[in-house]
Amino acid sequence: MVDAARLDWKAIAAESRFQALHHKKSRFLWGLMIFSVVYYFLLPIGAAYFQELYKIRVWGPINVGLLFALSEFVVAWGIAFVYSRRANAEFDAMASEIVRDVEKRMGGKG
Amino acid sequence: MIRHRFAFLAAGLALLAAASPALAQSAVADKWRWLTFLVFGVIISLTMFVTYLAAKRVKSVADFYTAGGGVSGLQNGWAIAGDYLSAASFLGIAGLISLYGYDGFMYSVGWLVAYITVLLVIAEPCRNIGKYTLSDILAYRNDPKKVRIVGAISVITVSTFYLTAQMVGGGVLVKTLIGIDYEISVVVVGVLMLGYVLFGGMVATTWVQIIKAILLVTASIVLVMFVWTPYGFSLPAFLQAVVADPKVQANVAALLGDKAATMSAAELGQRFLEPGLYFKAPIDQISLGMALVFGTAGLPHILMRFFTVPTAKEARKSVIWAMGIIGGFYVLTIFLGMGSAINVGSAQIKTIDAGGNMAAPLLAQYVGGGADSMLGNLFLAFVAAVAFATIVAVVAGLVLAAASAMAHDLWVGVIRGEKNVTPQEQVKAARIATGLVGALAIVIGIAAKGQNVAHLVALAFAVAASANFPCVLLTLYWKRCNTGGIVLGMIVGTLTAIGLVLVSPNMTYPKLIKAAAQKVVDAVPAKESNLTADLAAATDDAAKTKTRNALVAMQKEVAIAKGNLDKFKSEETSLVGLEKPLFDLRNPGLISIPLGFLAVILGSLLYRDKRAEDMWDELYVRQNTGILAAKAAAH
């Protein structure tokens, strides 16, 4: 059994593998987060200040505003997809490697 | 023992069936009420059966609060969708789209985007660090007692606002749909919800959410099929029918008023797909968007759902599923709302409920064959029953969140001390707190009858975004964050959000209402003589009808104005003693969210706590790797 009090958290945090995970994940997550917030707030800002643009008709009665609003859904799902693929393939593997190592060192199976 | 308890639930159902033979105007005709009760009975029995099965599995305190961490990502995704697609978002957004077109659809976007925040920065760390409540995360490297007290207060505040809105909304909804007395439906919602939570804990609550979400999505898909099939599943063809519909054009003309005079019918129809019919103040809308996008990640009943899954990976999976279901549902809502606008028409939607909440139920009645057909009423009954189940399920999730803050954080964590409490006492404390919160919900629901509670949901989101979200985010991602920051952030975030709403245009200002009403009454003689002259001068029938309609509309307006003058005869100021709002912002998020963040940062810098900084590595490694997290779920 791994016990929280017996772990040297500072040493794990300083390990190069954890640092690599931290850097990769932080950059990726906050990048996506900022992009999604900016993309979302463009919709109401545009609806308020660029109404003429939103009114331009593209396909029958469908206008730029409707397409933009629909694109918000596609972008949200896209972000979810991109994040989960990267996390499943890369972050999970990096994290479980660190966990396995710690448990081995502690002599328990967790 | 368990069977005994269920007699109590059955009594609730009987009460519902026996309620109020006297009818006001409701969506279901007298003749068809038996059908409605039959469908209600079937759906409620199904959820009670699930609770009965779940009750056997609830033994430990972890079972009660978090279903023992044994919920899968897929199940949790449906349950999150169930929690989130409350009556406000399901009936409300369909209604907004049916009456205001584009703006209603734009409003729904923020509700989905909110889950990106949850997915990227909240769900997995919470699973890796937390146990039962939001305060568990805050307490990790801080003074547990202080943090639990402010955390519990904020959680109970947010839950109570949300709960009151749901109870009042539910009471009104059931009354509008089937004509049951308001008080009785509030009691029935409360009793059923207590039944689910007390006996089945989180296991039953989760399954009730799942069942309800599946029913809701199924009903919506069936309705959309009916609405969309005539147009060969083509979006342009469907929207062309919307903009060409005379009912839609008349609705837009009424919304635009004088500006509509120079527009052609085609232009009026197209206007329905353009922004600006509902949202008039851009700043307010951005403020609301901020509260949604950051508030969802601070809603205690949503955060709690991430403690029910075994691993961070399952937590991630559950948000992905929830985003798929919630987003898909909002896309369907375009067809529900616009389908209702062309098939039922805004005039008829508004006669039953001015806010448009009846758009989806009335559409169900229409596609089934109309108000006189059996199938139409069966569809209506089904949608009504789903809406009812929605309220009960959402209230159950909220009560569980508030009860866990009361029992786990305050009673066990602060008053008794975690080491001095046996597991049996913890379960008992959880059940007692549930009973208390549930009883309180019923009392508040009845006391708030007739109040305008629409802004309470927005307020709950605002407090969650301004107090809970900055605290959780910064304790997870900022090394220097400490007890001082959490306490100050919780207090400042909660108080500014509530304070700003109290002085905002959301409140009722009798003096302004009376002034507006007086103006309407004063204008009558001049307007009436003008219209009478127009009527005499009118040569063709169309012009005559138009003038007559204007006369009728004027009389209606006067009646409302006189009613207001009478209602507020002896009142001059709002709840907090103001004659007019201090500023124009309806949603406080734009100001209170940055203030909340600022308070956490300043509080942390002033307080300085070496222990919190020393424990940062531990917290940060754990939240990223999930070391030791499996232990929390293993028991």
Burial label for B265, CB within 10 Å (0-12, 13-18, 19+), is middle
> Burial of B81 by CB count in 10 Å (0-12 exposed, 13-18 middle, 19+ buried)?
buried
The set of residues, in sequence order, having a beta carbon less than 8 Å from that of B115 and lying 6+ positions away, is A76, A80, B296, B319, B322, B323, B326
CA dist list (Å): B537 to B261, B523, B524, B532, B540: 20, 21, 20, 9, 10
What the block records as the tokens of B326 is: 């919630």
Between CA B201 and CA B64 the distance in angstroms is 4
CATH number of B2-21+28-470: 1.20.1730.10
pLDDT at B633: 42
Residues 51-70, chain A: which have Cβ within 8 Å of B? 51, 54-55, 57, 59-63, 65-66, 69-70
Cα-to-chain-centroid distance, residue B138: 26
Query: Nearest 5°: CA angle at B193, between B187 and B197?
Result: 145
Q: Which two tokens stand for residue B503?
A: 């002085």
Q: Of B28, B48, B30, B95, whose CA–CA distance to B382 is shortest? A: B28
Q: Reply yes or no on whether the pLDDT at B41 is more than 90.
A: no
Q: Supply the pLDDT for residue B14.
A: 53
Q: Distance from A104 to chain B by nearest Cα, in Å? A: 13
Q: Which of A106, A83, A96, A89 is nearest to A1 (CA)?
A: A106
Between CA B268 and CA B277 the distance in angstroms is 11
Q: Check whether B2 has a pLDDT greater than 50.
A: no
Q: How far apart are CA B380 and CA B359, in angstroms?
A: 11
Above 90 in pLDDT, residue B179? no
Exposure string for B82-91, b = 16+ CB within 10 A, e = fewer: bbbbbbbbbb
In terms of phi and psi (left: phi > 0; alpha: psi -120 to 50; beta: otherwise), the region of B72 is beta
- Residue B7 pLDDT class (50, 70, 90 cuts): low
**In A, which residues are within 8 Å of B105 by CB distance?**
66, 69
- Partner-chain contact A4 B110, CB within 8 Å: no
Residue with tokens 């529900």: B336
d(CA A99, CA A25): 17
Reply yes or no on whether the pLDDT at B288 is more than 60.
yes
Does A79 lie at the interface with B, CB-CB under 8 angstroms? yes
**Residue B138 and residue B1: Cα distance in Å, rounded?**
39
Residue B630 is predicted with a pLDDT of 55
Query: Higher-confidence residue: B90 or B622?
Result: B622
**Taking CA A97 as the corner, what is the angle to CA A96 and CA A98, rounded to the nearest 5 degrees?**
90
> CA angle, B52 as apex, B206 and B41 as ends, to 5°?
85
Chains A–B, number of C-beta pairs less than 8 Å apart: 155
Amino acid letter, residue B463: V
ipTM: 0.91
pLDDT digits (tens, 9 = 90+) for B463-522: 999 999 999 999 999 999 999 999 999 999 999 999 998 888 878 788 888 888 888 888
Q: Could you say which residues from 9 to 48 on chain A have a Cβ atom under 8 Å away from some Cβ of chain B?
A: 9-10, 12-13, 18, 21-22, 25, 29, 32-33, 36-37, 40-41, 43-45, 47-48
Q: Quote the CA–CA distance of B393 and B213 in Å, as a whole number.
A: 10
For residue A107, the distance in angstroms to the closest alpha carbon of chain B comes to 15
Kindly list the residues from chain B whose CB atom is less than 8 angstroms away from the CB atom of residue A40: 109-110, 113, 289, 293
**Average pLDDT of chain B to the nearest whole number:** 85
Residues forming a β-bridge with A62: A59
Give the 3-state secondary structure percentages of chain B, helix then strand then coil, rounded to 5.
Answer: 80, 0, 20
Q: Give exposure, B582-604, as e/b (b: 16+ Cβ within 10 Å).
A: eeebbbbbbbbbebbbebbbebb
Q: What is the mean pLDDT of the segment spanning B580-584?
A: 82
Q: What is the pLDDT of residues B306-341, one digit of tens each?
A: 989 988 899 999 999 999 999 999 999 999 999 999
By C-alpha distance, which of B404, B464, B463, B396 is closest to B163?
A: B396
Contact B323 A37 (CB under 8 A): no
Could you state, in order of their start, the residue ranges of all structural domains in chain A? 28-106
Partner residue opposite A37 with nearest CB, options B105, B119, B293: B293
Q: What is the DSSP letter of B410?
A: I
- Comparing alpha-carbon positions, the chain B residue that sits nearest to A9 is B618
Rounded CA gap, B217 and B325, in Å? Answer: 8
Mean local confidence (pLDDT), B23-32: 66
Spatial CA neighbour of B625 closest among A4, A36, A81, A80: A4
Residues B426-431, mean pLDDT to the nearest whole number: 88
A72 touches chain B (CB under 8 A): yes
* Record: contact B110-A73, CB cut-off 8 A: no
Q: Which of B442, B460, B429, B410 is closest to B65 using CA atoms?
A: B429
pLDDT in tens, B98-125: 999 999 999 889 899 999 999 999 999 9
Query: Which secondary-structure segment (H or E) carries B226?
Result: helix B182-228
Token pair 């609060």 in the structure block, residue: B65
Confidence band, pLDDT 50/70/90 cuts, at residue A65? very high
Q: Is A88 on the interface with B (CB under 8 A)?
A: yes
Query: Domain extents for chain B?
Result: 2-21+28-470, 517-567
Beta carbons of A76 and B286 less than 8 Å apart? no
Residue to mutate among B118, B119, B334, with most A CBs inside 10 A, is: B119
State the amino acid at position A54 in one-letter form: Y
